[in-house]
Amino acid sequence: MGIIVKDKVFTIHTKNSTYQLKVDDKGVLLHTYYGARTDETDYSYTIMAADVGFSGNIAASVDDRTYSLDFFPQEYPVLGSGDYRVNCLEMDLGQGVKDCMLFYDSHTIYSGKYSLPGLPALFAEEGDNVETLEIVMKEDKEEVYVHLLYGVFFDADIITRAAFIENKSGKEVSISRMMSAGVDFSHSDYDMIHFHGRHANERNMERVPLFHGIFELRSTRGTSSHQHNPFVVLAGKNTNEEMGECYGMALLYSGGFHMQAEVDQRGYARLVMGIDDSDLDWRLADGDIFTVPEVMMGYSKDGVGNLSRSYHNAVFHHLIRSKWRDRQRPVIVNNWEATYFDFDGEKLLDIASQGAKLGLDMLVLDDGWFGKRDDDYSGLGDWVVNEKKLGCSLKELVDKVNDMGLSFGIWVEPEMISEDSDLYRQHPDWAFVVPGREPIRGRSQLVLDMTRDDVIEYIEQRLFALLDSANIQYIKWDMNRSLAGTYSGQLRCERQGEVRHRFVLGLYRVLEDLNKRYPELLIEGCSGGGGRFDMGMLYYTPQIWCSDNTDAIERLRIQYGTSFAYPMSSVSAHVSVCPNHQNGRVTPFKTRGICAMQGTFGYELDLSLMSDEDKELAKEQVETFKKHYRLFQFGDYYRITSPFDNPDFTAWEYADKDGREAYLAVVFTDVHGNPLPHMVRFKGLVPDGSYKVYEDGAVIGSRTGAALMNAGVLLPIPKESYDSTSFYVSMEG
C-alpha cells in the first residue's frame, strides 16, 4: 500500500517517489522528506535544531530556544505561529488579528480518492491503486479544524493535495489566505521553471535560479491568465529533459492563483500554491466549510521529460472525464479566421462543402451567429439565433451540414454581456459594476455575475435551448476579458472578498450541469486562446484552444511550453492562412499542418480559397492525422529540441507506450548557406527491435531501435524558410 503510518510518522509511497510528514512531540505537523522512493525511516533526523536569533518559540517550546517554527520544515504553515516565511493560512478568529496555531488532532486512511464538492479533482477508476490520507489539524484555542487531504496515485507517481476548513467555533471567522499546499525543502539549490506570456504569446518557458527572498507568480485577473500559468517545476541545477531530479506543482483551478517560492535565512526553500488571495476575505459562518482547490504534485529523478509524461498520463486517465477522452475527435474547420463576422448561411455551407471534400469531420460556427452581433461591441447575452443573417433556422443549417457528412459545432461566450444587448437593458444589475462607478470594460464587454443563481439559471436555459434546437455535437466555450470591479449586488459589502472565487464556482456549476445533461457533447475551452489553459478546465473540457496565435512558428514555442504539464491531446491547434493574420508570416502549408498535428488538429481558414496544391496537401494531412491518431492521442510525448535553445530547428516525438512505433516531426526555424548536417535521435523505442523507417511517408530503409535512439536519423537539407519533415518508424514482424 502507498500510505504507511508508524508512531505518527506518515510515509507516502508512489511507484518512484516517497513523501513523508511527522507529528512531533508538541503536536506540530512537520514535513520530513519528498524525493526518490526510499524506505519508512523517520527522516526528521535531518532537521537541525538550533538557537537562531529572532526566531520565536511557541508556548510548548518556551524553555527550548532551539525549537522554532521560523525555520523548521512544516506541512501546513500558518500565520501566527512565529513563522515569518510565506505561509498557507491566514485567518482572523474574531479578534481583528490574523492569529492561528494548528496542532494534530486525528487522521484517517481509506481506499480510493477524495472528492471536492463543486471543484475539479483527480478521480480513481475501478481497479486503480489509489488511497486517501486525511489529517485533521485543530486550532489551539478555537473549535476550528483544518482537514489536509492527500490523494496517492501509486502507479501514476502523483500525489494530490487539498484542504478544507470546518468552523465549529460558534462564531464567524474570516479567511484571507488559504493555500492548497506547501512543501518545504532541505536546501535551495534549485531553478524555478515557469511559463509566462501574454495574449497570443502564452506559456513561454523560463528558467531562473531561486534566490534569498521570494519568487512569486500570481494572476489577479480572475482567470489563470495568459500572463502566467498555474504550473511550475522546481528543478536541480543540472536537471534536463532526461536526467536529474525535479518537482512539479499544478493547481486545478481556473480563477486567479498565487505561487510563492521562498529561500529563507537558513537556505531552505519553501513552495506554496493556491487561489489568489490579493482581495480574498471569506466569511465562514459557524457550521460552514470552506474548501480550496486541489494541487497535483509530481516528482522525477529522471528529468523533466519524465515528469511531464507522468502529468500527461495522470491528466488523461484521472482528470479528463469526457467520453471524448477515448474517442477519435473530429478534424474540424472553424470559420473564424475565414470570415470573422462577415458570413451568411451560404458562405458557411460553401466552407462545409469544401471540408467534406478534404475529409474533414466537422464545421464549427464561431462568433456572430446570434442577436445583434456583426462586431464585438454588441449582442453578448442574447443567445438567440439570427435567422436573418443565416438565411434559415439553425436546425436547417445544421441539417444541411450533416447531409454533407459533417457534424456541427458552435461558439458561445456565456460568462459575458454586452451593454448593447437586450439582456443588459433588462438586467443591468446582472453585470459586475461597482455602484456609482464607471465599469472597467474589456473587449467592449462586461462580465456576468455568476455568483447569482438567477444568472446561472438564465445561462443554462439559453444553452440548453440552443443545444436542444439542432444536432450540435461540439461547443467552443470562450471567455474574452479579465475580471475587474467584481461587485455583486447579491452579497453584503463585507462579503465582496468572496466574489472572485464564487464566480469560478458558478462557472464550474454550469459546466458540470452541461456535461451531465449532454454527456456526448464535446466541449472545447477557450479564453482568447490560452488565457484559461489550466487543469481545472480540463476536468470539464477535454481540449482547450491553445492560443489565438495560429502562426505555426510561434505555436512551436507556445505548444512547447504547454507540453510541460498538459497532454498534447488537450491542445487544440489549427492550420491557418498565410500571410498569418496575427504576424504576417508566410509559412509552407506542409509545415502548418505538421505543427497543428502536434495537437487535436483542424483548419481555421476559407477552404474555398485554397489552391489545388494546398487542397491535395490538406487531404494528405487529414489522412496522416487519422492514420496515426492513436499514436498522437495515447502515445508518450518527447520534447526532442527546444525552440528557445535551438535556433535551427524544433523537433518533437510521439512514441507508442510499448515502443512499437513512433512519429517524429521537425520544423526548420532557420536556414543557412552550406548547411551543417544534423542528426536527431528517437526516444522510447525497443533497442533490439527492427523498425521500418519512413520519411515524409516514403520508406527509406530499416534500422534497429538502438541505432535510431543512439545515432538517430539524418535530417534533410531544408528547401525553403520554415520547411519541415517527419519520420515514422514501425517495428517489423
Residues 388 and 524 in one domain: yes
Ranges of beta strands (E only) in 129-245 are 130-139, 144-153, 158-167, 173-185, 190-198, 201-209, 213-218, 231-236
Which residue bears the cell 497543428? Answer: 596
Q: Which residues contact 125 (CB under 8 A, 6 or more apart)?
A: 317, 318
What H or E segment, with its residue span, contains residue 591? helix 589-596
Share of the chain above pLDDT 90, in %: 99
Q: How far is CA 618 from CA 172, 196, 359, 622, 728, in A?
A: 62, 33, 9, 6, 19
Beta-bridged to residue 667, according to DSSP, are 650, 724
Between CA 493 and CA 483 the distance in angstroms is 18
Question: Last residue of some domain: 284, 318, 352?
Answer: 318
Between CA 331 and CA 355 the distance in angstroms is 10
Instruction: Cite the DSSP H helix spans in 297-360.
Output: 304-318, 336-339, 345-358
Question: Last residue of some domain: 629, 646, 671?
Answer: 629
CB of 543 closer than 8 Å to CB of 602: no
What H or E segment, with its residue span, contains residue 502? helix 499-517
What H or E segment, with its residue span, contains residue 576? strand 575-576
- pLDDT on residue 62: 83
Total number of residues shown for the chain: 733
pLDDT digits (tens, 9 = 90+) for 596-641: 999 999 999 999 999 999 999 999 999 999 999 999 999 999 999 9
Q: How does DSSP assign 160-178, residue by residue?
A: EEEEEEEE-SSS-EEEEEE
Per-residue pLDDT for 571 more than 80? yes
Between CA 727 and CA 223 the distance in angstroms is 39
CATH number for 708: 2.60.40.1180
pLDDT digits (tens, 9 = 90+) for 575-584: 999 999 999 9
Between CA 218 and CA 210 the distance in angstroms is 17
Percent helix, strand and coil across the chain, each rounded to 5?
A: 20, 35, 45
Q: How far is CA 423 from CA 143, 382, 412, 420, 446, in A?
A: 46, 6, 15, 9, 12
Mean residue pLDDT across the chain: 97
- pLDDT on residue 213: 98
CB of 666 closer than 8 Å to CB of 680: yes
Residues 608 and 688 in one domain: no
325 lies in some domain = no
CB of 587 closer than 8 Å to CB of 722: yes
Residues 447 and 415 in one domain: yes
Q: Which residues contact 589 (CB under 8 A, 6 or more apart)?
A: 575, 578, 613, 614, 617, 618
CB of 160 closer than 8 Å to CB of 150: yes
- Nearest to 507, CA basis, from 588, 564, 550, 452: 452
Between CA 94 and CA 98 the distance in angstroms is 9
CATH number for 176: 2.70.98.60
pLDDT digits (tens, 9 = 90+) for 91-111: 999 999 999 999 999 999 999
* Catalytic-role residue among 367, 478, 636, 656: 478
Between CA 675 and CA 671 the distance in angstroms is 8
- Nearest to 456, CA basis, from 380, 509, 418: 509
Which residue bears the cell 468572496? Answer: 498
- pLDDT on residue 733: 80
Residues 177 and 111 in one domain: yes
What H or E segment, with its residue span, contains residue 302? none
Residues 427 and 501 in one domain: yes
Beta-bridged to residue 175, according to DSSP, are 91, 282
286 lies in some domain = yes
- pLDDT on residue 163: 98
Residues 603 and 652 in one domain: no
- Nearest to 336, CA basis, from 710, 604, 718, 26: 604
Between CA 564 and CA 324 the distance in angstroms is 22
Between CA 14 and CA 3 the distance in angstroms is 9
Q: What value does the CA radius of gyration of the chain take, rounded to a whole number of Å? A: 27
Residues 608 and 670 in one domain: no
324 lies in some domain = no
Between CA 272 and CA 652 the distance in angstroms is 32
pLDDT digits (tens, 9 = 90+) for 677-732: 999 999 999 999 999 999 999 999 999 999 999 999 999 999 999 999 999 999 99
* Catalytic-role residue among 276, 277, 449, 548: 548
What H or E segment, with its residue span, contains residue 663? strand 661-668
Q: How many domains does the chain have?
A: 3
What H or E segment, with its residue span, contains residue 334? strand 332-334
b (16+ CB within 10 A) / e for 169-200:
beeebbbbbbbbbbbbbbebebbbbbbbbebb
- pLDDT on residue 63: 87
Give every strand in the sheet of 690-695, ordered side by side: 636-639, 649-655, 661-668, 724-731, 690-695, 698-704
Question: Last residue of some domain: 579, 606, 629?
Answer: 629
Per-residue pLDDT for 509 more than 90? yes
Per-residue pLDDT averaged across 1-18, rounded? 96
Residues 642 and 619 in one domain: no
562 lies in some domain = yes
Q: How does DSSP assign 48-82, residue by residue?
A: PP---TT----GGGTT-TT--TTTS-BSS-BTTSS
Indicate if the alpha-carbon torsion angle 413, 414, 417, 418 is positive or negative.
positive
Helix, strand, or coil (residue 412): strand
> Is the model's pTM score more than 0.95?
yes
- pLDDT on residue 648: 97
548 in active site? yes
323 lies in some domain = no
Residues 532 and 677 in one domain: no
For 98, which DSSP code? B
The count of other CB atoms within 10 Å of the CB of residue 29 is: 22
- pLDDT on residue 123: 98
Residues 103 and 190 in one domain: yes
Helix, strand, or coil (residue 501): helix
Residues 345 and 493 in one domain: yes
pLDDT-derived band at 1 (thresholds 50, 70, 90) equals confident
Per-residue pLDDT averaged across 279-289, rounded? 98
Residues 389 and 313 in one domain: no
Per-residue pLDDT averaged across 58-72, rounded? 94
For 596, which DSSP code? H
Per the structure, the complete domain to which residue 693 belongs is given by 638-731
105 in active site? no
Q: How far is CA 610 from CA 596, 604, 663, 719, in A?
A: 17, 12, 27, 22
